[in-house]
Amino acid sequence: MHRAFVVIGFLFSVALLSAGVWSYGFRQALSQLSEKAEADLELAADRLSTQMQVYQELAVLMAGHPALATLDTPSQRQAAQAMLLDVADKTAAVNMLYLDRNGRVLTAAQPIAQGSLAGHPAFERALQGALGSAHGVLPESGARIYSYAAPTFDALGRVQGALMVVADVQDVEQTWRGSTEAVFFVDSEGVVFISNRSDLLFWYRSEGQQGLSPPEGNATDFASTMIGGHELWRLGWGRYLPERALHLTLDLPVIDMTAEVLVDVAPARRLAGLQAAAVAAICFAFGALLFLATERRRTLAQANVVLESRVAQRTRALTAANTALRREVHERQEAETALKKAQAELIQAGKLSALGQMSAGISHELNQPLMAIQQFADNGTAFLSRGREGRAAENLTRISDMAARMARIIKNLRAFARNESEPMGKVDLVQVIETAVELTDARLRSEGVELEWQLPSGPVFAWGGEVRLVQVFVNLINNAADAMSQQDDKLINIAIETGDKLAVTVRDIGPGIENTEKLFEPFYTTKAVGSSEGMGLGLSISYGLVQSFGGNIRGTNAQTGAMFTVELEYYREDEVA
């Protein structure tokens, strides 16, 4: 009977200890999961705000366009419509409209059914002399749109009209739809207007309600609890949403919305369960050993007096074995702790290495657009001083394009740091090389490098990412110029080969490649020690970028100098479909 009470007490203690370990482990895992979810939520919010800011700045920039100053004649309206259509096509805007003070549509990139937008929230805000914004749903197509309206002023500073830019929310959110965590943005009326889970669109939250309700108003399974300061939701909203999720929110007053994220806590529960199971297994193993030792000792104590000495010897042997087993368990626990610490340090070292590569790439990639922006700004000032407003506006447009390109570069660098990238698709390879040549033109001219660019008769479409391909060819052109820096004759030849495989070759007449096997290894460089451009990361980064969309890059020695070949995949419509 006494033995049964001991066993029951031991089992109860193990169960209580395992429950405590599970609870502690689950709370710790929730804290780590919350930190990651908060970072992901801020990233999604920043991405949405940045993408919407493009259309906001477009409205402000185009509001003062000279083509919109006078719209009295049909020809003037037709010219303004053509200008707005061209800008809308280049920026992926749904529509661009110019309204007079009464809300009447004077001209638009795309025809609209309404002749007047008086009463539109964004337009009413623009009439007050400020930038207006609003979101809604187009009744004819059901498309979700976000509108920005920028006021225009007459010579006396009075509002005479407004330029409205309409953006398709689906185009904005398609770059991050399908992410692991469910992210959605709720407007001031409690309606889910943007989400990477299409199932949640137009769900709503009533006043005082914690969860969400579908548009049809049918009741859904929902429960909310607080554990360790974290809000947990229990859901029954479909197979694409977790049954148990950590819920976080982030206010976005700039776009008048609230960002929310649902992160599956199943991994945290499994981790806590494994920890509790491990503790229970150790306790049971230790208890079993103690039980066996006690049973054997009791049996030996009841043996014959003649065997008393042998019983004592066996008891001492068992005691020694028990001590050795405890020591081994302790050593294994210390080894496990050391292994976890080493793994954590290795992960941190990998993060620091990736951030170091990004830091090297930032100065390398942003310097060229900044120089181009400075040049276009100087040209614009000169054109303005000569009264050539059209050419000055063209330079301002180029500056805007360069700024947008810099924003995309920074976005790609941030995405690369989190193992993300810009969406791949149809890329005009000729335009990519033209952009790379343009970015490196100032440096090549200053160093006396001649560039031969065999321009094809028409566009050549490849599968990849535009910004990353520009980065690759800028790296190759700069490396070729560096290789010829110590000689008088400097020549770079770029050609596109459109055979069975799509390839681009970049040749120089420099000294060639010293070691082709280590060419694409990080930090391998033949430049002088201490050089600010000799970190050996350019080719390594280019190699990773080309391979990220199924291509290949190799470097060989030609008869004179070096030749780099970038192989890419042709763009095919059936693959996209």
Please state the rounded mean pLDDT for residues 459-482. Answer: 85
Higher-pLDDT residue of 74 and 537 is: 74
Task: Give the integer Cα–Cα distance in Å for 451 and 508.
Answer: 9
Task: Give the integer Cα–Cα distance in Å for 504 and 497.
Answer: 6
What are the tens digits of pLDDT across the range 297-324?
A: 878 777 777 677 787 888 888 888 888 8
Q: Using an 8 Å Cβ cutoff, are 321 and 297 in contact?
A: no
Amino acid at 91: T
DSSP 99-140: EETT-BEEEESS--S-SB-TT-HHHHHHHTTS-EEEEEE-TT
Per DSSP, 305 falls in state G
46-50: long-range contacts, CB 8 A cutoff, minimum separation 24: 47/175, 47/176, 47/411, 48/172, 48/173, 48/185, 48/194, 48/252, 48/255, 48/259, 49/252, 49/254, 49/255, 50/407, 50/411
Phi, psi of 150 (to 5 degrees): -110, 130
Higher-pLDDT residue of 330 and 7 is: 330
Q: What value does the mean pLDDT of the chain take?
A: 79
What are the tens digits of pLDDT across the range 127-185?
A: 888 888 888 887 777 788 888 999 998 888 888 889 999 988 887 777 666 566 888 88
Task: Give the integer Cα–Cα distance in Å for 338 and 81.
Answer: 69
What are the tens digits of pLDDT across the range 94-141?
A: 889 999 888 898 888 888 878 888 888 888 888 888 888 888 887 777
pLDDT of 65 over the 60 cut:
yes
Q: What's the farthest any 2 CA atoms get from each other in the chain?
A: 126
Closest C-alpha to 97, from 145, 158, 47, 155: 145
- The residue to which tokens 């904005």 are assigned: 172
pLDDT tier at 420 (50, 70, 90 boundaries)? very low
- C-alpha Rg value of the chain to the nearest Å: 34
Closest C-alpha to 162, from 105, 89, 95: 105
Task: Give the integer Cα–Cα distance in Å for 269 and 28.
Answer: 11
Token pair belonging to 379: 């040209």
pLDDT of 463 over the 50 cut:
yes
Task: Give the integer Cα–Cα distance in Å for 242 and 226.
Answer: 17
**Quick one: how many helices (H) and strands (E) in the chain?**
11, 18
Per DSSP, 154 falls in state -
Q: At CA 373, angle to CA 367 and CA 374, rounded to 5?
A: 90
DSSP H helical segments within 92-235, as ranges? Answer: 121-127, 169-173
- The residue to which tokens 């890059």 are assigned: 553
Task: Give the integer Cα–Cα distance in Å for 288 and 352.
Answer: 47
Q: Using an 8 Å Cβ cutoff, are 371 and 438 in contact?
A: no
Task: Give the integer Cα–Cα distance in Å for 507 and 560.
Answer: 9
Q: Using an 8 Å Cβ cutoff, are 185 and 258 in contact?
A: yes
pLDDT tier at 406 (50, 70, 90 boundaries)? confident
pLDDT at residue 175 in the model? 65
CB under 8 Å to 397, separation ≥6 — which residues? none
